[in-house]
Amino acid sequence: MAGDQHKEKGRVFSRRSLMMAGSQAVLMSALAGRLYYLQVIHSDEYSTMADENRMNLQLLPPLRGRIVDRFGLEVASNRHNYRVVLIPEQTKSVEATLDALEHYVPPGSIDRERVLKDVKRKRSFVPIPVVDNLTWEQFAKINVNSPDLPGIQMDVGSTRDYPYGPLFAHIVGYVGAVSERDLQTQEYDPLLELPEFRIGKSGIEKYYDKTLRGKAGLSRLEANAFGRIIRELNRQEGIPGNDAVLTIDKQLQEFTVRRMGTESAAAVIMDIHSGDVLSMVSVPSFDPNAFASGISSADWKALIEDPKRPLGNKAIGGQYPPGSTFKMIVALAALEAGVINAGHQVFCSGHTQLGKHRFHCWKRGGHGKLDLEDAISQSCDIYFYDIARKVGVDKIAEMAHRFGLGEELDIDMLGERDGLIPTKAWKLAVQGVPWQLGETYNTGIGQGYVLATPLQLAVMTARLANGGKKVSPRLVRSINGEALEGAMQPHPQLNLEDLDLGISQNSLKYVLNGMYKVVNGPRGSARAAKIRVEGWEMAGKTGTAQVRRISRKERIEGVRKSDEKPWEERDHALFVGYAPFDDPRYAVSVIVEHGGSGSGAAAPIARDLLQETLRLDPLRKPSYDIAIRRQKGGGDA
> Using CA atoms, how far apart are residues 604 and 530, in angstroms rounded to an integer?
8
Question: Which CB sits closer to another protein, 32 or 302?
Answer: 32
**Crossing angle of helices 505-520 and 454-465, rounded to 10°:** 110
**Crossing angle of helices 437-444 and 381-391, rounded to 10°:** 130
Q: How many helices (H) and strands (E) does the chain have?
A: 24, 21
Question: Which CB sits closer to another protein, 34 or 235?
Answer: 34
430 binds another protein (CB under 8 A): no
Count Cβ atoms below 10 Å from residue 540 Cβ, excluding itself. Answer: 34
Question: Binder to another protein among 96, 144, 183, 230 (CB under 8 A)?
Answer: 230
Backbone φ and ψ of 476, nearest 5°: -115, 120
> What is the smallest separation between the CB atom of 145 and another protein, expressed in angstroms?
34
User: Which residues, 6 or more positions from 380, have their beta carbon under 8 angstroms from its beta carbon?
Assistant: 346, 348, 361, 363, 367, 370, 374
Q: Is the peptide bond before 492 cis (omega within 30 degrees of 0)?
A: yes
28 binds another protein (CB under 8 A): yes
The DSSP result for 101-129, as a single string, is HHTTS-TT---HHHHHHHHHHS-TTS-EE
> What is the smallest separation between the CB atom of 40 and another protein, expressed in angstroms?
6
Count Cβ atoms below 10 Å from residue 405 Cβ, excluding itself. Answer: 25
Selected range binding another protein among 15-23, 66-74, 80-88, 504-512, rule: CB under 8 A: 15-23
Which residues lie across from 543 on neighbouring strands? 574
232 binds another protein (CB under 8 A): no
234 binds another protein (CB under 8 A): no
Tell me which of 324, 379, 478, 623 is the catalytic residue: 324
Question: Which CB sits closer to another protein, 32 or 239?
Answer: 32
40 binds another protein (CB under 8 A): yes
Burial class of residue 308 in the structure, from the number of CB atoms within 10 Å of its CB (0-12 exposed, 13-18 middle, 19+ buried): middle
Question: Which CB sits closer to another protein, 56 or 480?
Answer: 56
Question: Which CB sits closer to another protein, 13 or 125?
Answer: 13
123 binds another protein (CB under 8 A): no
Selected range binding another protein among 72-80, 223-231, 335-343, 361-369, rule: CB under 8 A: 223-231
Count Cβ atoms below 10 Å from residue 177 Cβ, excluding itself. Answer: 14
Do residues 460 and 466 lie in contact, with contact meaning Cβ atoms separated by under 8 Å? no
Selected range binding another protein among 16-24, 130-138, 241-249, 553-561, rule: CB under 8 A: 16-24
- Binding to another protein (CB under 8 A) within 203-222 occurs at 222
Do residues 96 and 90 lie in contact, with contact meaning Cβ atoms separated by under 8 Å? no
- Count, residues near another protein per rule CB under 8 A: 40
- 3-class state of residue 382 by DSSP: helix
Question: Which CB sits closer to another protein, 46 or 347?
Answer: 46
Torsion of CA 484, 490, 493, 496, to 10 degrees: 80
5 binds another protein (CB under 8 A): yes
Q: Would you give the binding string for another protein spanning residues 54-93, x where CB under 8 A is met?
A: x---------------------------------------
233 binds another protein (CB under 8 A): no
> What is the smallest separation between the CB atom of 125 and another protein, expressed in angstroms?
13
> Using CA atoms, how far apart are residues 428 and 229, in angstroms rounded to an integer?
70
Do residues 101 and 149 lie in contact, with contact meaning Cβ atoms separated by under 8 Å? yes
Question: Which CB sits closer to another protein, 15 or 364?
Answer: 15
> What is the smallest separation between the CB atom of 236 and another protein, expressed in angstroms?
21
Q: Is 589 a catalytic residue?
A: no
Burial class of residue 430 in the structure, from the number of CB atoms within 10 Å of its CB (0-12 exposed, 13-18 middle, 19+ buried): exposed
Please choose, from the candidates 186, 183, 243, the residue with its C-alpha nearest in 3D space to the C-alpha of residue 211: 243
Which residues lie across from 245 on neighbouring strands? 68, 478
Question: Binder to another protein among 57, 156, 225, 298 (CB under 8 A)?
Answer: 225
16 binds another protein (CB under 8 A): yes
> Using CA atoms, how far apart are residues 359 and 356, in angstroms rounded to an integer?
10
> What is the smallest separation between the CB atom of 4 and another protein, expressed in angstroms?
10
Selected range binding another protein among 20-28, 77-85, 158-166, 440-448, rule: CB under 8 A: 20-28
Question: Binder to another protein among 63, 194, 218, 223 (CB under 8 A)?
Answer: 223
Question: Which CB sits closer to another protein, 32 or 96?
Answer: 32
Question: Binder to another protein among 46, 125, 347, 567 (CB under 8 A)?
Answer: 46
Question: Binder to another protein among 146, 224, 504, 506 (CB under 8 A)?
Answer: 224
- Beta strand 217-223 with 198-200 is unpaired
125 binds another protein (CB under 8 A): no
> What is the smallest separation between the CB atom of 49 and another protein, expressed in angstroms?
5
User: Which residues, 6 or more positions from 198, have their beta carbon under 8 angstroms from its beta carbon?
Assistant: 64, 160, 175, 176, 177, 178, 292
> Using CA atoms, how far apart are residues 377 and 520, in angstroms rounded to an integer?
9
22 binds another protein (CB under 8 A): no
- Binding to another protein (CB under 8 A) within 460-519 occurs at none
Selected range binding another protein among 49-57, 408-416, 517-525, 541-549, rule: CB under 8 A: 49-57
Selected range binding another protein among 30-38, 205-213, 575-583, 584-592, rule: CB under 8 A: 30-38
49 binds another protein (CB under 8 A): yes
Residues labelled catalytic: 324
Binding footprint of another protein on the chain (CB under 8 A): 5, 8-10, 12-14, 16-17, 19-21, 24, 27-28, 30-32, 34-36, 38-40, 42-43, 45-47, 49-51, 53-54, 222-226, 230
